[in-house]
A and B are shown apart, each in its own frame.
Chain A
Amino acid sequence: MTTPSHADIQTGALSLPVLTVSRWSRVIALLVAVALIGGVACLQFGSERIPLTDVARILLGGNDETLTGAVGVSRSVIVLEVRLPRVLLAFLVAASLAAVGVALQALLRNPLADPYILGVSSGAALGAVLALQMGIGWAVAGFSALHLFAFLGAGATIVTIYRVVVTEGRVPVHTLLLAGVIINAIISALILFITSVSDSTSAFRMFFWLMGNLTTLGYAGLGALAVLVAVGIGLLCGQARNLNLLALGEETARGLGLAVERVKHLIFLTTALVTGAVVAVSGLIGFVGMVVPHAMRMVLGADHRLLLPAAALFGGVFLMVADTVARSLLAPTELPVGVITALCGGPFFIYLLIRHRGAQML
């Protein structure tokens, strides 16, 4: 082996083409800016178009004449009470789905993994469908009975999967994947059963909920969700380097010094809890959790230290925009946002597959 000359070090010839602090900061700053600008821009749209200048003034808490008149007050209410919570919810939900998608693709070593693959989402859906079937109406701390039932459903599913899959403290990922498929199938059958014995009104509401929707959660609920999501995504970002190693296979990762089983536990439980919470408040919004990780990986590379937070931010922006389209396109009729994400995400994914037919991407 040769030793580097002093000149090499001086001229920076020692730099390697790997992630640097400055690249990380630039990309994340750019995405944060896009998220902020995109979020504000989305507030203009809906059944009524509110000019961007008014949106800005409302957000900044202005009280001049244009905002204190009857029209102004109603616009304030629309922006602050209707659109803003919804935009925030879209961001939180999709940021979670994208981050969880990235983490699960690495954990399961399966590029087709998405947040719904483990069956936790089905559990949440079953809880929600049960709540709708029983017509429970009460609410606690900003969350409706439907949200809580859905979260309980997710929790019960997590416990079930954990008890089925984990043996002697190990998380065998193939078993995890298979268990997820089976649990999804069983719960889908249960949901189908419940919808088919329900009256047509509740059945329609169930169907609509399952398609994914971002009906307003309210600030109390949003706050709680934001804390949970921030902790969850934070934990996953903290595992970024470990996820890099997991992508080499468990044995290699262990050989390089990773306590593989501990990391797998942490990632499974974090992703499952975040997925459960997010599905409980938004239903099954498809494609964000699978397509966003792929798209970002193509643009930014595979290093999870950058990929994970970037996918979360970009996923958030994507759903804010998709939801804005969903509620403005045929206003006052609202489309389920899942329709938009599937119609954008599906063809994009097919494009990826065609472009990378040599499987380079995966």
Chain B
Amino acid sequence: MGLCYQLVDISFRYAREWVLRDFSLEVAEGEFLGLIGPNGAGKTSLLKLMAGLLRPNQGGVWLHGEKLASLSPRQIACHVAVVPQESQVLFPFTVAELVLMGRFAHQEGWGWDSQADLQIARHAMQAMDILPVATRTFRELSGGERQRSIIARALAQQAGILLLDEPTAFLDINHQMDIYALLQDLNRNRGVTVVVVSHDLNLASQHCDRLVLLHEGRVYQSGVPEQVVTPEHIRTVYGCDVIIDRHPEAGTPRVTLPQALEGRAMVKR
């Protein structure tokens, strides 16, 4: 299998502090990759660098062997779809209009939405179970419906690579499973490469082929979930003790937070 992404010696900073330092990563085509790590570890920045939304200060990102910086936003968008952590929509756009915007990279100029565009958008909405709210505006939706609309927009983009920043953060358990079921289907049956940032170590362990644990702007561990999600690694990177056993069905690591909270009280009296 070919390489989808090559990130070579990337360094990136917003202001003075380096967010990523001499960071290297390769993503294979068809991989289901999870990026995990504590707040501020650089996961979101990494995702944005891969989407071409940020430019590295040093080093380079190659997408299918081509330098990302040399591709136009439209060219990138034909290959890469992004589901951002938060979405804001100004003006009363309806859900259907928003999902159709996912077709932008494939459309020429001003033109009208083609029948094919409408059909693709409709499929995406069906898959995300948001057809019933198609005429509502984004602001009228619940958190879960919003998130599913944004994912539907990314699906409508029909890109070979999906980058998702905490796609299940606002979802109830049922819709969390829906999202992972869909991602798994896309990954296995349609060869879509999936890179997902997650704070949910259990879901990530259950569904990702490989996990990359970020620590202080570098790759701390990379491998199958069993290798990465261990009490030692979690303690080093997150700074807390956890109990890890096996998922009763999948056998993947299952992280449980300990009961004792002594010594953690942050309220200063």
Contact = CB atoms under 8 A, between A and B. Distances in A.
Contacts, number: 130
A111 B90 contact: yes
Contacts of B126: 1-2
A241 interface: yes
B53 A245 contact: no
A257 interface: yes
B99 to A, nearest CB: 8
B104 A241 contact: yes
Contact of A302 (B52, B76, B82, B91): B91
A61 interface: no
A21 interface: yes
Contact of B91 (A237, A258, A297, A305): A297
A47 interface: no
Interface in B137-194: 137, 139-140, 153, 155, 157, 182, 185
A264 B88 CA distance: 19
Contact of A303 (B77, B97, B122): B97
B112 interface: yes
Given A2-B126, A18-B100, A247-B89, A260 B73 contact: yes
A360 B137 contact: yes
Interface stretch (A9-17, A128-136, A143-151): A9-17
B84 A254 contact: no
A258 B123 contact: no
Contact of B119 (A14, A251, A256): A14
A244 B101 contact: yes
Contacts of A252: 82, 84, 87
Contacts of A3: 123
Interface of B: 48, 51-53, 72-74, 76-78, 81-82, 84, 87-94, 96-98, 100-102, 104-105, 107, 109-110, 112-113, 115, 118-119, 121-127, 134-135, 137, 139-140, 153, 155, 157, 182, 185
Interface of A: 1-4, 9, 14-21, 105-106, 109, 111, 237-238, 240-241, 244-245, 247-249, 251-252, 254-260, 297, 301-303, 305, 360-362
